[in-house]
Amino acid sequence: MTSRQFNKLATRIGFWLLVAFVAIIAVFPFYYAVITSFKPSSDLFRVELWPSSWSLANYVQVFSQKSFLQAIFNSILVATSVVFIALLLGITASYALGRVRFRGRTTVLLVILGVSMFPQVAVLSGLFEVIRALNLYNNPGGLILSYTIFTLPFTVWVLTTFMRQLPMELEEAAIMDGATPWVTITKVFLPLMWPAMATTGLLAFIAAWNEFLFALTFTLTDSQRTVPVAIALLSGGSAYELPWGPIMAASVIVTVPLVILVIIFQRRIVSGLTAGAVKG
């Protein structure tokens, strides 16, 4: 083996070791959560990479709690509503911002970008008052409203970038064919914007699904909670026991659908996110 070949091999081994390291850091906690969720409670604190005995008891316990099922339903309701509203408003707003020339367009876009950088905590108390005033406290509507507010800037920004890339002549052709702006958006642009919509929709879904702070602040009763809060508030037999098993089982239940969604859409997410970055 010449030194050159050796160097090449060493570089490759080093590279893959690095990849393995990153993968382990990223995936191991999730892996450990999964196997923990399948352990009987007696084995919970035995450190092992592969459980010696399997049990579905944690899952049975989680699903037997009515409040948890209600929380899953609430989460699905909130997240899908947020996605739907954000995409509807995002598409129409991006048409205006990407295609219609009007005074102050750049300012509006910069404000949108600025708003998207606001930390949640900064608006928490103010938003709380707004939600109280709108009578949406302890109601999924309050969560839908607040998540939409935080998702929209990103949605609008990405969709506007994408919309601007669609050729101007396409819209003009539609105008010559007698299409109104609404027809142009729904019949011509929408079918071409699926990659961008899949991306932004999925990211909005994930954000709404994972959100904790607002969900904790704006809900009060078990029947209105979403999954992240419900998991955090899972309680054991006594105040001194943290029910790790059921918590892990619940985490897996709410994480797996997301992982599957991301795997399905990952190519589109990449192409959607980089749209506008490189002309080609």
Cα 115 from Cα 97, distance rounded (Å)? 16
Q: Is 191 in the site for other proteins (CB under 8 A)?
A: yes
Q: Is 188 in the site for other proteins (CB under 8 A)?
A: yes
Cα 196 from Cα 210, distance rounded (Å)? 21
Minimum CB separation of residue 91 from other proteins in Å reads 16
**78 closest CA partner among 141, 19, 161:** 141
Nearer to other proteins, 25 or 168 (CB): 168
Minimum CB separation of residue 182 from other proteins in Å reads 12
- Count of residues for the chain? 280
Q: Is 187 in the site for other proteins (CB under 8 A)?
A: yes
Total residues at the site for other proteins (CB under 8 A)? 16
Minimum CB separation of residue 171 from other proteins in Å reads 8
| Tokens describing residue 269 | 């997410």
Minimum CB separation of residue 192 from other proteins in Å reads 6
Q: 214 near 120, Cβ under 8 Å?
A: yes
| Residue linked to tokens 């101007």 | 168
Q: How far is CA 211 from the centre of its chain?
A: 9
- Find the binding residues for other proteins in span 108-167 (CB under 8 A): 167
Nearer to other proteins, 10 or 173 (CB): 173
Q: 255 near 30, Cβ under 8 Å?
A: yes
Q: Is 172 in the site for other proteins (CB under 8 A)?
A: yes
| Tokens describing residue 236 | 């054991």
Stretch that binds other proteins, among 26-34, 106-114, 146-154, 181-189 (CB under 8 A): 181-189
Three-class DSSP category at 275: strand
| Tokens describing residue 235 | 């309680």
Considering only 104, 126, 178, 237, the residue that binds other proteins (CB under 8 A) is 178
Nearer to other proteins, 4 or 101 (CB): 101
